A and B are shown apart, each in its own frame.
Chain A
Amino acid sequence: MLRLPTLKLLKLFPWSILILLIGFMGLSFSLLYSAGNLSFYPWAVPQLIRFCIGFIFMMIIAFTDIRFWLDKAYIFYIVCLISLLVVELFGFIGMGAQRWIKLGVFNIQPSELMKISLVLAIARYFHYTESSEFSYLKTYLIPFALVLMPVILVLKQPDLGTSIMLCMVSLSMIFVAGIAWRWLLAGFTGLLVFLPVAWAFLKTYQKNRVLTFLNPEKDPLGTGYHIIQSKIALGSGGFWGKGFNHGTQSSLNFLPEKQTDFIFSMFGEEFGFIGTLLLLCAYGFLILYGFRVTLYSRFTFCKFVALGITSSLFLYVFVNISMVMGILPVVGVPLPFISYGGTALTTLLIGMGILIATDLQRHRSSSYS
C-alpha cells in the first residue's frame, strides 16, 4: 500500500465541492434562523455545530484510502443490520416510529447509516464479481438479499421514505451493473402486482399520506393541509420571492415542519423562482460531480460507490422537492444539507466524504484491481 504525500492530495482535493457544501451550510443556517423567527435557537446554532462536526468526519473520510471501506464494507453492513434489529426490538419510539438507538448523548438512527453501508456492501459485491457474470440473473440474487433484509426492517419501523430510498439506490446500482432489461421489466411488473398487497401492510397514517397526495383538497384541514400550505408558500414566492424572513406562510406558521421536510417551500417563498433555480443548479453541480467521479474511476468498487452515493443524493433532492410540491406523497425525506436534523446530515456528509475519497483514489496507485 503506497501512500501519496498529503500535500499532493490537498492539491487534488475538490475544493469547489467543499465551498459548495459550506455555501449550503450558510444557507441552512440563515433559513433555520428565519424559521426560528429570527432566533439562533432552537435550530440554527445546533445545526451549525452538527455541520462542523460533520465536516471533520467528512474530511477524515475523504483522505482515507478507499480500500479501507472495501475491506470493512460487509462488517459495516452487518453492524448496521444488527443495529436495525436492535431498534426493532428495543428502539426508542420517536415520531410514531421506532427509528432511534439511544447511546448516551447521541441518538443513532441505524436506517440512515444503512443507506451508506448498503451502497458499500453492494459495491463490494460487484467489485468481486467476475465481469462475465454480470449478465446472469443469479449474480443479482445476493444484492437483492442485501437490500431486502434492511428494507423489511425499516418498513417495520415504519419508515416508508427510507425504505424507498434504500430500494431506489440499490436498484440504480443493480441497473448500472448491467442487469438484463427483460429482468428489469419482469421485476417492474411484479412490483405492480405486489403493490395492492403492500397497501394492506401500510399503517393508517401512511395510507392517509398517499391518499392525501392523490387528492390534497379533499381534507384541507387534515392531512392535505401540509401539501396545500406548502404549495401556497412556494407559489406565492413568485419570481423574486418575498425576501428573507418576509415569508408570511412560514413566519405565521401556516407552513408546517418548515425547519425540516418543508424547508424548501420556505426557501421558495422567501427567495422565489430565482432562488429555487439557483439551489437546483447547486444540487445539479454536486450530482454532476458524482457522475464525473463514477465515470472517471478505474476501480470498480469506486465506480459503484460513487454511483450509489450520487443516486442517493439525487433521490434526497428529488423526493423532498417533489413531496413539497405535491408531486409525491409526503414520506419524510429531508432536503439534503438544508433541513434541520443531525442523522441525515451526518449520513450525507459521510457520503460526501466517501465520494471525495473515491475521487482522490484515482490518484493513488492501484495495487488492488
Chain B
Amino acid sequence: MEHKKKKSFTRRTFIFGGVQAGLGTLILGRLYYLQMIAGKEYLTLAEENRISFRFIMPRRGTILDRFGEPLATSKKIFRLVVVPENIKNIQNSLDAIKKIIPKPDISWEDIAKQIKKKPKFYPTIIKENLDWKEVSRIELSLTHSPGVFVEESWKRYYPFPASTSHILGYTGMPSEKFIRKKNLPYFKHPDARMGKSGIEKIYDEKIQGIPGSKNIEVNARGRIVRELKRNPPISGNKIYTTLDVRLQEKIKDLLKPYKSGAVVVLDIQTGAVRALVSTPSFDSNSFTLGIDKALWKTLTTNEYGPLFNKAIQGQYAPASTFKMVTALAALLFGIITPKTTVYCPGYIYIGKRKFHCWRKHGHGTVDLDKAIKKSCDVYFYEIGKKLDIDQLAEVAQSLGFGSKTGIDLPEESGALMPTREWKKRVKNKSWYPGESIISAIGQGYILATPLQLAVMTARLASGKTVTPYIVKPTLTKLEDIKNLDPYYLKLIQESMSNAVNTPEGTSWKHRLPWENWKMAGKTGTAQVRRITLEERRMGIFKNNVLPWKYRDNALFVGFAPVHNPRFAISVVVEHTGFGGTYAAPIAKEIMKYLKENGA
C-alpha cells in the first residue's frame, strides 16, 4: 500500500512536471514569435513610439521700405500648445492649464473645437506670446503634464501699423479651402500663416519661405528627449517696397485732424508709389493671432471704414480735378481752342435747367487758362454741351480712369468712367445731354480712386503711361501716351501751375516757396448730395453745419517740380469742405517734405 501510494505520487509528480514543461514551451514559443518572427514589426512600432516628426516653420520674409526700414518683420516668441495625442484626458489637462493661464488667446470652447477638428498629433495653441513669468510658471507646474509644451515660434510684427496696415495687409491661418487645395500637411500646423490682404497676400509665395522638419525623440509623456535629425527651414525672401515710411507717417499725421481721407504720392518717372495712405487705419498687429470677433465687429461697423483702403478702393467724384481731362478732350476733339472764351455770370441755362458755377456771382469772361486756374464751372458746362461723353471717356481712359491701374495690391477698384454703351448696359437707358454737362465738371456718374487721380496727374505731367507699382514694376519703360498733343498738354500743365502760383489761382495760398521747385495743381470740391433750390436761394450750404456724411469731399491733385515733374500727388479728405482749404495744404506739406529730403 505504502509502495503503491509512492508510485502514484511519483506518477502524478511527473504528470504535473509535464504540464509545467508544456506551459514552459508555450511561453518559449510565444517569446520566439514576439522576438524572432514579429521582432521587426515591433521594432517599427517602438521607433514610432519614440520618434516624432515636427515641422520647423520658416521665418517669413521681411517687408522693407525703399530705404531698408522694416515695415513687417518676424519676431521670435514663446507660446503654449497642447498635443492631444499624448493626453489621456484632455479636459483634465485644460483644467490644469486654466489655473495658470485663465485667459487664452481664443475662447476655451474654440480651443476644444480646434482640438476636435485637427489630427491628434497636431499642436493646438492655447496662448501665443507668453511673457517670461508665464513661461516659468508653466515650466514649474506643467512639466509633468504630458502633451503640454512651451514652443518657440514666429510672430509677425508691424512697426508702423497706423500708416502701413492697409498696404501690408495681415497674415492669418490658412483657410480650410486653401489647405484642401494645396494639400500640404504643414498648412495645418498652427504656425502656418498665409497673407490675407495687402502685400502679405499678393507676395505670399515669395515671403512664405520653405518649412523644415526635424525628427525628435520623445518619451511617453511626449516630452522631447533629444533631436535626432534636422532639415532646416528656408526663410522667406525679403521684399523691398517703393514706400518711404517716414513720408507715410508724415501723411498719416497730416490727415489726423480729419476723420477720413486718402493720399497717394507717385514717382512720375517710374510709377513707384512713394506713399499711399488711407485713414483711419486698423492695426495689422491685432490680426496676427487670429481675428477677435468683437474687434472685427467694431472695425466693420465703424462709420469711417478703417478696414477699407480708400486710396485704391474709395470711389469719389473727381469734381474739379477732372476739369483738365475735360479741357484736354475738348482741345483734342476741336470743341475749343486755347483762345476760346466764355462769359460766366455764375450760372447757365441748358434747356430749362439752370446749372450753377461754384462762384455765385460768376467769373466774367474766362478763357481756358482762367477756367482752370479759377475753376470756372460755366466754361466747362459750355464744353459739356458740345463734347460727346464717349469722346470725354476716351481721353479719360487714356489717363487712367474707368479701369484698374494694375498696382500690385489686391482689391483695387476700377471705379467708373461712364460711356453711352455703359449706360445702356447697366442702366438700360440712353445718355442724356444733361449728364454730359455735369460730367464735364467731374460730377455725375464719374468716380475715381485717389490712386487713379494720382495716375491722371502723373500722366498729365509727363504725357507718359505712368503705371503705379509698390514692389515690382509692370512696365519697365514708360511710353508716350498715344494721341495726346504735347502742345495741349503743356497748356494744361501751365494752367495747373497758374492755379497754384498766381494770386488769382485757387491754391495760391498753398504755393511752394521755391522759384525753381514749384508745384502745379488743381483743387476739387465734390458734392455728395444735391443742393436744394431752397438752400441756394438762402445762399447757404455751410459745410460745418451739415451732418458729417453730407459735407463735401475736399480734393487736390498736383505735381512738382513744374518743369521736369517728379512727383504726382492726389489728396482726398472726406466730408470737410473746399479742396483749396482742406486738401491743398496737405499736398503742399508733402511736396515740401519731398523737396527737403532730396528724394
Chain A residues with a Cβ under 8 A of chain B = 131-132, 134, 172, 175-178, 221-222, 229, 231-239, 248-249, 252-254, 268-269, 272-273, 276-277, 280, 284, 287, 291, 294-295, 303, 307, 311, 314, 318, 321-322, 325, 327
Contact of A236 among B4, B16, B23, B39 (CB under 8 A): B39
- Interchain Cβ contacts under 8 Å between A and B, 14 examples: A175-B16, A176-B9, A176-B16, A221-B88, A234-B31, A234-B34, A236-B46, A238-B35, A239-B35, A314-B20, A321-B31, A325-B30, A325-B34, A327-B26
Q: Say yes or no: B219 contacts A234, CB within 8 Å.
A: no
Q: Say yes or no: A232 contacts B42, CB within 8 Å.
A: yes
243-279 of chain B: CB within 8 A of chain A: none
Residue interface bits B214-226, CB-to-A below 8 A is 1, else 0: 0001111100010
Q: Identify the closest chain A residue to B86 (Cβ).
A: A221
Q: Identify the closest chain B residue to A241 (Cβ).
A: B35
- Complex Cα–Cα for A28 and B115 (A): 43
CB distance from A220 to the nearest CB of B (A): 11
Q: Say yes or no: A231 contacts B16, CB within 8 Å.
A: no
Q: Within 8 Å CB of B10, what residues of A?
A: 295
Q: Within 8 Å CB of A276, what residues of B?
A: 31, 35
Contact of B35 among A222, A229, A268, A322 (CB under 8 A): A268
Q: Within 8 Å CB of A321, what residues of B?
A: 27, 31
Q: Identify the closest chain A residue to B4 (Cβ).
A: A131
- Complex Cα–Cα for A239 and B33 (A): 11
Q: Say yes or no: B20 contacts A287, CB within 8 Å.
A: yes
Q: Say yes or no: A327 contacts B218, CB within 8 Å.
A: no
Q: Say yes or no: A254 contacts B8, CB within 8 Å.
A: no
Q: Within 8 Å CB of A178, what residues of B?
A: 5, 8-9, 12
- Complex Cα–Cα for A253 and B125 (A): 26
Given known contacts A178-B12, A235-B45, A280-B24, what 18 new A-B pairs fall within 8 Å (CB)?
A172-B16, A176-B9, A221-B88, A234-B35, A248-B46, A248-B49, A252-B225, A254-B220, A268-B31, A272-B35, A273-B32, A280-B27, A307-B13, A318-B20, A322-B30, A325-B27, A325-B30, A325-B34
Q: Say yes or no: B50 contacts A239, CB within 8 Å.
A: no
- Complex Cα–Cα for A325 and B33 (A): 10
- Complex Cα–Cα for A174 and B141 (A): 57
Q: Say yes or no: A176 contacts B12, CB within 8 Å.
A: yes
Q: Within 8 Å CB of B217, what residues of A?
A: 248, 252
Q: Within 8 Å CB of A269, what residues of B?
A: 46
Q: Within 8 Å CB of A177, what residues of B?
A: 9, 12
Q: Say yes or no: A294 contacts B42, CB within 8 Å.
A: no
Q: Within 8 Å CB of A232, what residues of B?
A: 42, 45-46, 49
Q: Within 8 Å CB of A322, what residues of B?
A: 27, 30
- Complex Cα–Cα for A117 and B30 (A): 33
Q: Is the interface of B mostly helix, strand, loop or mixed?
A: helix
- Complex Cα–Cα for A356 and B434 (A): 125
Q: Say yes or no: A252 contacts B49, CB within 8 Å.
A: yes
Q: Identify the closest chain B residue to A264 (Cβ).
A: B31
- Complex Cα–Cα for A290 and B39 (A): 34
- Complex Cα–Cα for A284 and B20 (A): 10
Question: What total of chain B residues lie within 8 Å of the partner, measured CB to CB?
Answer: 42
CB distance from B459 to the nearest CB of A (A): 69
- Complex Cα–Cα for A229 and B34 (A): 13
Q: Identify the closest chain A residue to B9 (Cβ).
A: A176
Q: Within 8 Å CB of B219, what residues of A?
A: 252-254
CB distance from B256 to the nearest CB of A (A): 59
Q: Say yes or no: A318 contacts B24, CB within 8 Å.
A: yes
Q: Say yes or no: A176 contacts B13, CB within 8 Å.
A: yes
Given the interface pairs A221-B88, A254-B220, A325-B27, the reply to whether A249 lies near B49 with Cβ below 8 Å is yes
Q: Within 8 Å CB of A175, what residues of B?
A: 12, 15-16
Q: Identify the closest chain A residue to B2 (Cβ).
A: A131
Q: Say yes or no: B13 contacts A234, CB within 8 Å.
A: no
Q: Within 8 Å CB of B27, what residues of A?
A: 280, 318, 321-322, 325, 327
CB distance from B127 to the nearest CB of A (A): 26
Q: Identify the closest chain A residue to B23 (Cβ).
A: A318
- Complex Cα–Cα for A291 and B42 (A): 37
Find the residue from A177, A237, A239 having the highest chain B CB count within 10 A. Answer: A237
Q: Within 8 Å CB of B30, what residues of A?
A: 322, 325, 327
Q: Within 8 Å CB of A294, what residues of B?
A: 13
Q: Say yes or no: B28 contacts A235, CB within 8 Å.
A: no
- Complex Cα–Cα for A132 and B2 (A): 8
- Complex Cα–Cα for A10 and B10 (A): 29
Q: Identify the closest chain A residue to B42 (Cβ).
A: A235
- Complex Cα–Cα for A318 and B17 (A): 13
- Complex Cα–Cα for A131 and B27 (A): 36
CB distance from A284 to the nearest CB of B (A): 7
Q: Which 3 A-B pairs have the closest CB atoms?
A: A235-B42, A236-B46, A238-B39
Q: Within 8 Å CB of A231, what residues of B?
A: 34, 42
Q: Say yes or no: B218 contacts A252, CB within 8 Å.
A: yes
Q: Does B151 contact A (CB under 8 A)?
A: no
Given the interface pairs A268-B35, A276-B35, A287-B20, the reply to whether A236 lies near B45 with Cβ below 8 Å is yes
Q: Within 8 Å CB of A176, what residues of B?
A: 9, 12-13, 16
Q: Does B475 contact A (CB under 8 A)?
A: no
CB distance from B226 to the nearest CB of A (A): 11
CB distance from B90 to the nearest CB of A (A): 11
Contact of B41 among A221, A235, A254, A311 (CB under 8 A): A235
- Complex Cα–Cα for A134 and B9 (A): 10
CB distance from A271 to the nearest CB of B (A): 10
Q: Does B43 contact A (CB under 8 A)?
A: yes
Q: Within 8 Å CB of A277, what residues of B?
A: 28, 31
Q: Say yes or no: A284 contacts B50, CB within 8 Å.
A: no
Given the interface pairs A235-B34, A238-B35, A294-B13, the reply to whether A280 lies near B42 with Cβ below 8 Å is no
CB distance from A320 to the nearest CB of B (A): 10
Q: Say yes or no: B20 contacts A238, CB within 8 Å.
A: no
Q: Identify the closest chain A residue to B31 (Cβ).
A: A276
- Complex Cα–Cα for A356 and B414 (A): 103
Q: Within 8 Å CB of B31, what residues of A?
A: 234, 268, 273, 276-277, 280, 321, 325
Contact of B39 among A134, A239, A249, A318 (CB under 8 A): A239
- Complex Cα–Cα for A175 and B16 (A): 8
- Complex Cα–Cα for A272 and B43 (A): 12
CB distance from B450 to the nearest CB of A (A): 60
- Complex Cα–Cα for A47 and B23 (A): 29
Q: Does B36 contact A (CB under 8 A)?
A: yes
